[in-house]
Structure 1
Amino acid sequence: MPENRVIVYEEADADQRIDVMAVQTARGRTRVRAVAEAAQMVGLVASLVAEGVDQVELCGGFGAVWHAEARRATGGKAAVGAIYYGFESLTSVASYKERFEAGEPLSEAFIVVHGGADPEADRVVHEKEGGGRTIFVAVPDVNTAAEMAAKPAGESQLIELYGTEGPDEAEPVIRAVDAKVPVGVSGYRR
């Protein structure tokens, strides 16, 4: 059965009804949505699961408390993952958070593993007001994810890896950036 997945992140002035990026292949569909504030994520997740979404992944900015809220919002009808950072990324992700909170313009790369994706076509670059950007790119496999991670590593201060089964699949991406950029990986719980 094809997947019907949504990735949710937080961005000021976002319209949660609009797909920031959508990838459709024989494997299924992956969409990226943004909410203007964390509390909006709960209602969005509940409505998307009611529409048939079977997998939700949350940006690392939400954290464990919102991960738990999202799980409750699904009523057990969808798997819920959230981005977490391994020990090798703790120092650099703490630096990123401090710089973000200070208002420094920063850039992030959201790399989405989705079978059959074309990284040249399945890409959205969102320039932020005041500087920095968020790059969304869908790739067909973890090897391509590692190649993509190595490219923006020089210009991104954070990478989040979506659509993987955990640390084994994240390893090539983490090695590709050689600890120069924090890499967040989805951890799941139904």
Structure 2
Amino acid sequence: MTKNRVIIYEEAGADPLADVLAVANHHGRTRVRAVAEPAQMVRLVTELVGEGVDRIELCGGFGAVWHARARQAAGGQAAVGAIYYGFESLPGVASYKQRFEAGETLSEAFLIVHEGADPEVDRVVRDRDAGSTTLVAVPDEASAAEVAGKLAGGLQLIELYGTPGPESAAPVIDAVDAGVPVGVTAWAAASPAGRGRG
């Protein structure tokens, strides 16, 4: 398991140096940081790699171009993955994007798998003018599916972090009955040896 991971997402007015959520135990450390705009993310990646972070995951809102720039900034010193959506989630995520750009009130959840996490304690809700982001650390994929099922009624988007690949999203997609788009971190095959997994 990776011992030192940071998840990065975009939020207006965010301080990229402040942890939004931090979970640390004998299994390792996971932190969530927010940046106010994508260019800050690239600078943050460089700084995090310098601090010894060995795995970075990006929110799906950054897209493939910024994912590529983050990988370049990491210089092969850390695995860099990003949230992508399966075909079953494309209509929902396209609707979310359109509604977000129109200023509608929307809520999303980031479910973060970190062994030993307590979803009742390791939880933060970030309210914003047009909705909220709920960050919940869970100990495993089964817990992620359980939390997703409980939250789904009030969400328009779910992103699943801390897993080895798309197969981990299946229980979450099943739990929300495909009613909420679910994204999962994808890792490029060229990640440093042993760092792009679990």
Which of the five TM-score ranges fits, normalised by the shorter chain? over 0.9
**What does residue 108 of structure 1 align with?**
108
Once the two structures are superposed, the pairs formed by residues 124-139 of structure 1 within 5 Å of their partners are 124-129=124-129, 131-139=130-138
Provide the rounded CA distance (Å) in 2 between the counterparts of 1:91 and 1:2: 33
**What does residue 164 of structure 1 align with?**
163
Shift of 1:2: 5.3
Instruction: Note the alpha carbon deviations across 1:44-99, whole angstroms, 9 max, x for none.
Output: 00000100000000000000000000000011000011000000000000000000
TM-score normalised by L of structure 2: 0.94
Provide the rounded CA distance (Å) in 2 between the counterparts of 1:159 and 1:69: 24
Q: Secondary structure at the match of 2:19?
A: coil
TM-score normalised by L of structure 1: 0.97
Question: Residues 11 and 34 of structure 2 are in contact (CA less than 8 Å); yes or no, is this contact kept in structure 1?
Answer: yes
Task: Please tell me whether residue 184 in structure 1 is matched to residue 180 in structure 2.
Answer: no
Number of residue pairs matched?
189
Question: Residues 112 and 138 of structure 1 are in contact (CA less than 8 Å); yes or no, is this contact kept in structure 2?
Answer: yes
Q: Gapped runs of 5+ residues in structure 1? A: none
Identity %: 69
**What does residue 11 of structure 1 align with?**
11
Amino acid at match of 2:12: A
Question: Residues 2 and 55 of structure 2 are in contact (CA less than 8 Å); yes or no, is this contact kept in structure 1?
Answer: no
Amino acid at match of 1:93: V
Task: Please tell me whether residue 42 in structure 1 is matched to residue 31 in structure 2.
Answer: no
Provide the rounded CA distance (Å) in 1 between the counterparts of 2:145 and 2:94: 23
Provide the rounded CA distance (Å) in 2 between the counterparts of 1:93 and 1:77: 31
Provide the rounded CA distance (Å) in 1 between the counterparts of 2:166 and 2:106: 25
Question: Residues 2 and 26 of structure 1 are in contact (CA less than 8 Å); yes or no, is this contact kept in structure 2?
Answer: no
- The RMSD of aligned alpha carbons is 0.9
Question: Residues 8 and 32 of structure 2 are in contact (CA less than 8 Å); yes or no, is this contact kept in structure 1?
Answer: yes
Provide the rounded CA distance (Å) in 2 between the counterparts of 1:60 and 1:169: 16
Once the two structures are superposed, the pairs formed by residues 17-28 of structure 1 within 5 Å of their partners are 17-28=17-28
**What does residue 155 of structure 1 align with?**
154
